Amino acid sequence: MTYQGFVACVLVLAGTMFSVPDVMGADDLMVLRYADGSTQRIKLERESEFIRQIEFLEGRGAPGRGDWRGGRRPDDFMVLRYGDGSTQRIKLERESESIRQIEFVEGRRGPDRDDWRGGRIKVIGATYGRNCGAPYGNVTNNLAEVCDGRATCEYIIDFRVLGDPAPNCPKDYYAEWECGRNRERGVVNAGPEATGTGIVLRCPVR
């Protein structure tokens, strides 16, 4: 479709649970990698996890500007739409179709940022088969790899990933985590035959 002299291409990001921040998170970066090997670093106006949609507005030749194929093409833009309704418009350094990879670099979270956003998940321990005598924390590393550093984490318990610490026993799943500097602690427990069950870790704990 066209929009004010541009062709728009829309990329909708999968929806996730989020809370709208009271202040801006301006430490995260987006890195665009172009086909010619060049990169463009963009400072985000919100934290990267709040992005809900990315639009590419492709510049089009307008009457009187001549054929851009024989000269300079009008600039392409990227528009980021955040979960709180705000947008960020970015002028691209190359044509949008030459983008080969988009990376997000999470800025360092300072103590005051942890406070206002309820902290980030830090897995303390995860145990698969506690009810069957499995040792505490036997699957901590697996859960931590998936969930540490996030505000919300949806995790599917899968014995094919976790292994079988107690054969012939219907195993439960128990997890504990903290939220940032305030040490707010969350606990979730999925009963026996937990495999295939989804659990949610979030900060702040609700």
Alpha helices in the chain (DSSP H): 111-116, 140-147, 159-162
Q: Where are the domains of the chain?
A: 2-108, 115-202
Predicted local distance difference test score (pLDDT) of residue 189: 94
Predicted local distance difference test score (pLDDT) of residue 119: 75
Instruction: Give the model's confidence band at 14: pLDDT under 50 very low, under 70 low, under 90 confident, else very high.
Output: very low
Tokens for 76, please give them: 């392409």
Burial string for 11-47 (b: 16+ CB within 10 Å, else e) reads eeeeeeebbebeeebebbebebebeeeeebebebebb
176-193 pLDDT, tens digit each: 999 877 667 899 999 998
Distance, CA of 155 to CA of 140 (rounded, Å): 13
**pLDDT value at 40 more than 70:** yes
% pLDDT > 90, the chain: 29
pLDDT higher at 117 or 200: 200
53-81 pLDDT, tens digit each: 888 887 754 344 344 455 555 688 989 88
pLDDT higher at 14 or 60: 60
Tokens for 85, please give them: 């309704």
On whether the CB atoms of residues 148 and 123 are closer than 8 A, the answer is: yes
On whether the CB atoms of residues 58 and 7 are closer than 8 A, the answer is: yes
Predicted local distance difference test score (pLDDT) of residue 151: 86
- Out of 32-36, 49-53, 60-64, 168-172, pick the least confident: 60-64
pLDDT higher at 3 or 61: 61
**pLDDT value at 6 more than 50:** no
Predicted local distance difference test score (pLDDT) of residue 72: 53
% pLDDT > 70, the chain: 71
Average pLDDT, the chain: 76
**Omega of the bond leading into 204 within 30 degrees of 0 (cis):** yes
